[in-house]
Structure 1
Amino acid sequence: MRPAKVQKVCTSNLSEEQKQRLYVLMGYAELTLLYKASVHGYDASAFHQRCDRQGPTLLVAYNNSGYVFGGYTSVDYTQSGQNVIDEEAFLFGFKDKTFVSIKVNRGHHARLDDSGVPNFDHLYFCYNNQPRVHNQGGQAFTYNSATFFGNDTILRDLEVYKVEEISQDSVEEKPWRNVQWTAERRDELVGLIKNYEPLESSVNRVQILMIGPVGAGKSSFFNSINSIFTGHVTNKAMAGSSGTSLTTQFRTYPVKDGRQGKPLPFVLCDTMGLEEQSGAGLDIEDINCILQGLIPDRYKFNPVAPFEHDEQKASRSTSLEQKIHCVVYLIDATKISLMSVKLEEKLAAIRKKLNSLGVPQIVLMTKVDEACPLVEEDLQKVYVSSYIKTKVQEVSSRLGVPVSCVLPVKNYSQELELDLSCDVLLLTALQQMLRFADDYFDDISPVEGPLPHK
């Protein structure tokens, strides 16, 4: 009996992280795999059969040295026999955590649109219909082949994707999260938060630490929450737009139930903004001290030197009440794709530390109205916006958190009066923080003492 023929699977080898990097250059898009050389063959005819007249395409090559490299063209393959001018064309390359992009030089043709193998200027893929790349040293793109693909010309695979831009106005058939946009729901959330009691009886108020890049909206988030419970828009914490952090001190902000009301069962802790370069912004060592409850309110940060705590005091364990019970990352929805590798590495280092301590983490994706025209028109469309959904997925991928932990919000910035939709998003996020804090208390190490039964 003849053995069954093994069917080759046509699946993408491009990682989610690599896609996110490429979206910065192409704009957020949907990638559809058209052609895979290891499945369809390395010859030019197979490539053209599947890739001609498909609009913008992304070519991705893989070699045995671990390089992932290729190019993007916004102009169709049509076998016209003409040189193609494409000012949007670029080459790219990945190796481990290194990413390079090379724009087409002005005044040069990006590629030749003939019936041969795919090419970018004089860089040929599947050369002579074989699994190899051939560089004849063109002038349209300036790169070093040693750093671009390690001078390894043998291809492990080659893929071509159709690139379709995702419209910021596109709408999902049904909401991808269910939210009740009613005054009754708003009032219910306010009541739940006012009446909340931490699961750990030794803790009166949950300590929530806000972390994020400069300008992401940490201080604005506190102002927005404070506004809801005050009954009108307030601006207690310094907030605004600046290239450097407006917050220079560690601040612990309690929130009252009305101006003369009692303190509510949570405290929002504000910090300096994170910055990508060393010697600027919040130091990771400072964050560790904040988590342990060692840094006092109004301590002024020194970006070039971390907090120096009293060794004698530090040796005595701080109480559970003083420690951080939940961490919230605030990320600007309009700048997610522009996040630098260095900043991403800083956030990864912070997450690693928090994970080791068992501290729960949530991401607030701010400025969703500025990111999507559909949401700017109507905030209640945030959970039917395909664009916001893709941004939530991008945040999840780049920060390494579950999608369920990424919450879109809009802070009060220009408004003079409270808004129902804005309140519902903000209060829903705050309720999740309190729930996550209870998860922390429930999962706390036995050395902290047994939890009481309520």
Structure 2
Amino acid sequence: MYQSFEFGSQVSMVAPFTWKLTDGKRKQPCGLLGNVDLSLLYKASVHGYQASAFHQRCDRQGPTLLVAYNRSGYIFGGYTSVDYTQSGQYITDREAFLFSFQGKIPVCIKVNSGYNARIDDAGQLCFCYNNQPVVLNQRGNAFSVNTTTMYGNDTQLTECEVYKVKQIPQISAIHKQWRNVLWTAKAELMEMIRNHKPLMMSVSRVRILMIGPVGAGKSSFFNSINSIFMSRITSKAMSGSAGTSLTTQFRTYPVKDGREGKPLPFVLCDTMGLEEQTGAGLDIEDISSILQGHVPDRYKFNPMAPFQHNEQRVYRPSSLQEKIHLNSLSKLTLTKADEACPLVEKDLQSLYVSSYIKSKVQEVSSRLGVPVSCVLPVKNYSQELELELNYDYFDDIRPVEANPK
């Protein structure tokens, strides 16, 4: 997967056998792995880059974490839960992932569906390639690797370490939670949504505007909410993965309380994804027009030019029902929590146990200036065929922080 066994350098015993992974950086991979203990097995600057040195210390050690360092300051590597054995066989490992830590934004890349994680003696990312402190991307299909994001296209390594990963048993997960939740309150929370009444009598259904970058899961979020109330998987809004936004129109989606039920007191408004480059994605000026209620349903966005009132054949003042009130960012959904953290992917109820998810919630809170309690990590329905109770959980409007520190 990410380990090349073509080592071939002289063994050096000059460097001290100490961790290069600092306590602060150590928390990031541990956040991806859950409650674990790391012990150093192999250090290239000490044990050398020979395959025999690696296998002598790392074979049949169980789950391991490989951590590499390059001259540009990137810390990256991968995790495997399957032993190294030099078998030459294809290895299936759904828990395997690649990672990169550069600055405060960690990257986690999971195995693509339908592919083996690695061959037991080779892999997509080869470290210490050709007997040199070099990393090589062999451009396989197991992982979707962007070398710029992964290691800044700097292939020269300054160190390579392998750690044995040992899970630390948790006495009780509830004592580890950083946010108090009640996972059995689905019916009560759904009823609260059904009975919500807007403060203004002239507004029967509030509009909720969904804004975010391309691929954030806005359309999937609507599909998930709709699926829950319809009691079956639905895909009314187009969703998926692409380099550009799949949503090209402004869409207003009412949600019904079941197939024959009444409309719920809210409408979800889907938009084109935001992009960094000019002339791509949703135009910022379009957001203002949407808030004012000027943009009609099914209006096709033009990334090169914002919405113009005179484009519409019939112009009339917007009603209060069509407007979206924005005083501040009230709630932020942090999507794809399962893709970000293997612990959460394995058990969604670990969402508020994962220290990695907690760090991302705190990061979003700090960057956007919203309270931590207003950042809600979620997992959308995307590839499931049946509803899952754990996915259907709605966080309380006023979540309580179990441990704010």
State the TM-score, normalizing by the size of structure 1: 0.52
Residue type at the aligned position of 1:428 = D
- The equivalent of 2:236 in structure 1 is 236
Q: 1:180 to 1:88 in 2, by over 3 A?
A: same
- The equivalent of 2:177 in structure 1 is 175
Q: Secondary structure at 1:253's aligned position in 2?
A: strand
| Structure 2 Cα separation of the partners of residues 58 and 428 of structure 1 | 32
By how many angstroms is 1:55 displaced? 2.9
By how many angstroms is 1:52 displaced? 9.7
Residue type at the aligned position of 1:377 = K
Instruction: Give CA-to-partner distance per residue, 1:63-115, whole Å, 9 cap, x none.
Output: xxxxxxxxxxx9x99x99x9xxx96133469xxxxx9xxxxxx99989xxxxx
Q: Does 2:334 align with 1:365?
A: yes
Q: 1:91 to 1:228 in 2, by over 3 A?
A: same
Q: Does 2:354 align with 1:385?
A: yes
Give structure 1 stretches of 5+ with no counterpart.
1-50, 60-73, 94-98, 100-105, 111-139, 142-163, 326-356, 434-454
Q: 1:359 to 1:401 in 2, by over 3 A?
A: closer
Q: Does 2:272 align with 1:272?
A: yes
Residue type at the aligned position of 2:177 = P
- The equivalent of 1:428 in structure 2 is 395
Aligned length: 279
By how many angstroms is 1:190 displaced? 1.1
By how many angstroms is 1:285 displaced? 0.5
Q: 1:231 to 1:277 in 2, by over 3 A?
A: same
| Structure 1 Cα separation of the partners of residues 245 and 395 of structure 2 | 27
- The equivalent of 2:378 in structure 1 is 409
- The equivalent of 1:345 in structure 2 is none
| Structure 2 Cα separation of the partners of residues 366 and 168 of structure 1 | 26
Indicate which of 51, 69, 75 corresponds to 1:88: 69
By how many angstroms is 1:169 displaced? 9.1
What is the correspondence of 1:289-300 to structure 2 with a 5 Å cutoff?
289-300=289-300
Residue type at the aligned position of 2:228 = I
Q: 1:167 to 1:286 in 2, by over 3 A?
A: farther
| Structure 2 Cα separation of the partners of residues 408 and 167 of structure 1 | 27
Q: 1:239 to 1:290 in 2, by over 3 A?
A: same
Q: 1:167 to 1:190 in 2, by over 3 A?
A: farther
| Structure 2 Cα separation of the partners of residues 167 and 218 of structure 1 | 37
CA contact (8 A) 2:198 2:204 kept: yes
CA contact (8 A) 1:229 1:258 kept: yes
Q: 1:224 to 1:168 in 2, by over 3 A?
A: farther
By how many angstroms is 1:314 displaced? 12
Indicate which of 7, 20, 23 corresponds to 1:55: 20
| Structure 1 Cα separation of the partners of residues 373 and 167 of structure 2 | 22
Q: Secondary structure at 2:358's aligned position in 1?
A: helix
Q: 1:251 to 1:91 in 2, by over 3 A?
A: same
What is the correspondence of 1:25-424 to structure 2 with a 5 Å cutoff?
53=18, 55-57=20-22, 88-91=69-72, 173-182=175-184, 185-310=185-310, 318-325=318-325, 358-424=327-393
CA contact (8 A) 1:207 1:322 kept: yes
Instruction: Give CA-to-partner distance per residue, 1:295-332, whole Å, 9 cap, x none.
Output: 0000000111111113999998633321113xxxxxxx
Q: Secondary structure at 2:331's aligned position in 1?
A: strand
Q: 1:290 to 1:169 in 2, by over 3 A?
A: farther
Residue type at the aligned position of 1:210 = M
Q: 1:310 to 1:181 in 2, by over 3 A?
A: same
Structure (1/2) with the larger helix percentage: 1
Instruction: Give CA-to-partner distance per residue, 1:229-250, whole Å, 9 cap, x none.
Output: 1111111111111111111100
Runs of 4+ in 1 over 6 A off after TM superposition: 106-110, 166-172, 311-316
Q: 1:397 to 1:420 in 2, by over 3 A?
A: same
CA contact (8 A) 1:273 1:281 kept: yes
Question: 399-408 or 281-290, which moves further after superposition?
Answer: 399-408
| Structure 2 Cα separation of the partners of residues 316 and 287 of structure 1 | 19
Q: 1:167 to 1:216 in 2, by over 3 A?
A: farther
CA contact (8 A) 2:206 2:266 kept: yes
- The equivalent of 2:120 in structure 1 is none
- The equivalent of 1:437 in structure 2 is none
Q: Secondary structure at 1:211's aligned position in 2?
A: coil
By how many angstroms is 1:53 displaced? 3.9
| Structure 1 Cα separation of the partners of residues 203 and 339 of structure 2 | 38
Q: Secondary structure at 2:309's aligned position in 1?
A: coil
| Structure 2 Cα separation of the partners of residues 400 and 168 of structure 1 | 35
Instruction: Give CA-to-partner distance per residue, 1:373-427, whole Å, 9 cap, x none.
Output: 2111111111111121112112223333221111011111121221111111xx3
By how many angstroms is 1:207 displaced? 0.5
Q: Which has the larger radius of gyration?
A: 1
CA contact (8 A) 1:169 1:387 kept: no
Residue type at the aligned position of 2:395 = T
